[in-house]
């Protein structure tokens, strides 16, 4: 029971920084990382469509993976589908990721918080009531940035990373934003670049990384689900879609120390 894995879900590599942070602080826990490559990207999808996709994933694989906690390591998926997933699967412990607007709003000096996210996140951000009425949320959707990180980050140079982050920092600077929230898990791959560029504009950058790890740890402790100390953890990366065995994902799995498992052979878990 305790040695079951924690399951992280994203449409691609966006949830990997969250997965890494959790493993670093909880090395005894087994992990399954499910990249729903078949349905990438989640950002442009309608709420109902994305909810249906995630419910289907849960129906198909919950019983086979048997996770003790499911982490929606994707702001878009969380905003669109978390309430429906909790209603559909009441026995499952879900952890969602939402943009870190609250801490950004507290640190904000001029009442204007910037949020960089996917189309779905930016469309829904005002309905989440993450900040009080004293703060204005200025959102920018950046689907091309998600695409860059998913498809080109591995082979990009520092100059390319700096150029693309500077573009968005300039836009937020022009909007007189003084705190910026990285509202898509993919963007944490450029966390350092964003912080460096934002520093020159006196913009403070926020993300939900530490908060998500703490929330998972809280649920593990509360429900007595910590892995046995003498247990050897297993790390597996699961992929949906026809390109599940391509070279890029093999390299990613190796760099993480994960075993790459095509979703079609999940029975091997």
Model pLDDT for residues 41-89, shown as the tens digit of each residue = 999 999 999 999 999 999 999 999 999 999 999 999 999 999 999 999 9
* Residues 98, 100: Cα–Cα separation, whole Å: 6
Distances (CA, A) of 31 to 40, 108, 235, 244: 21, 36, 5, 18
Whether 73 and 8 have beta carbons less than 8 Å apart is answered as yes
Per-residue pLDDT band at 127 (split at 50, 70, 90): low
pLDDT at 136 over 60: yes
User: Does the annotation mark 157 as catalytic?
Assistant: no
Distances (CA, A) of 184 to 75, 141, 223: 6, 10, 29
Question: Considering 19, 32, 74, 108, which one is annotated as catalytic?
Answer: 74
User: What is residue 138's three-state secondary structure?
Assistant: strand
Q: Greater confidence, 253 or 218?
A: 218
| Neighbouring C-alpha atoms within 13 Å toward the C-beta of 185 | 34
pLDDT at 269 over 50: no
- What's the pLDDT tens digit per position in 97-107? 999 999 999 99
Domains and CATH numbers, the chain: 6-96+210-268 (3.40.50.1860), 101-207 (3.40.50.1860)
Q: What angle do CA 227, 230, 235 make, to 5 degrees?
A: 60
Question: Considering 19, 32, 108, 184, which one is annotated as catalytic?
Answer: 184
Whether 237 and 13 have beta carbons less than 8 Å apart is answered as no
User: Does the annotation mark 108 as catalytic?
Assistant: no
Residue 227 CB partners (closer than 8 Å, separation 6+): 2, 3, 28, 29, 30, 233
Tell me if the pTM is above 0.75. Answer: yes
The kind and range of the H/E element at 225 are: none
* Residues 81, 69: Cα–Cα separation, whole Å: 16
Model pLDDT, residue 1: 64
- What's the pLDDT tens digit per position in 155-207? 999 999 999 999 999 999 999 999 999 999 999 999 999 999 999 889 999 99
Name the phi and psi angles at 240, rounded to 5: -100, 160
pLDDT at 133 over 80: no
């Amino acid at each position: 029971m305790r040695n079951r894995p924690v399951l992280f879900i994203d449409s691609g590599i966006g949830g990997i920084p969250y997965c890494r942070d959790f493993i670093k602080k909880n090395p005894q826990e087994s992990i399954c990382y499910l990249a729903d490559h078949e349905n990438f990207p989640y950002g442009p999808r309608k709420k109902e469509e994305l909810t249906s996709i995630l419910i289907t994933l849960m129906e198909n694989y919950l019983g086979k993976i048997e996770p003790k906690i499911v982490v929606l390591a994707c702001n878009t998926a969380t905003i669109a589908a978390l309430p429906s997933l909790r209603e559909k699967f009441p026995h499952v412990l879900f952890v969602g990721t939402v943009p870190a607007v609250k801490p950004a709003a507290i640190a904000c000096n001029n009442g204007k918080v910037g949020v960089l996210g996917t189309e779905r996140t930016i469309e829904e951000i005002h309905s989440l009531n993450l900040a009080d009425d004293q703060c204005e949320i200025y959102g920018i959707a950046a689907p091309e940035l998600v695409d860059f990180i998913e498809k080109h980050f591995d082979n990009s140079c520092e100059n390319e990373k700096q150029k693309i982050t500077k573009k968005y920092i300039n836009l937020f600077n022009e909007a007189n934003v003084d705190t910026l929230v990285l509202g898509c898990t993919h963007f944490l791959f450029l966390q350092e670049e964003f912080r460096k560029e934002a520093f020159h504009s006196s913009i403070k950058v926020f993300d939900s990384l530490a908060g998500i790890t703490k929330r998972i740890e809280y649920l593990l402790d509360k429900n007595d689900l910590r892995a046995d100390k003498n247990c050897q953890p297993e790390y597996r990366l699961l992929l949906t879609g026809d390109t599940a065995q391509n070279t890029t994902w093999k390299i990613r799995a190796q760099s993480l120390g994960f075993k790459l498992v095509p979703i079609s052979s999940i029975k091997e878990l």
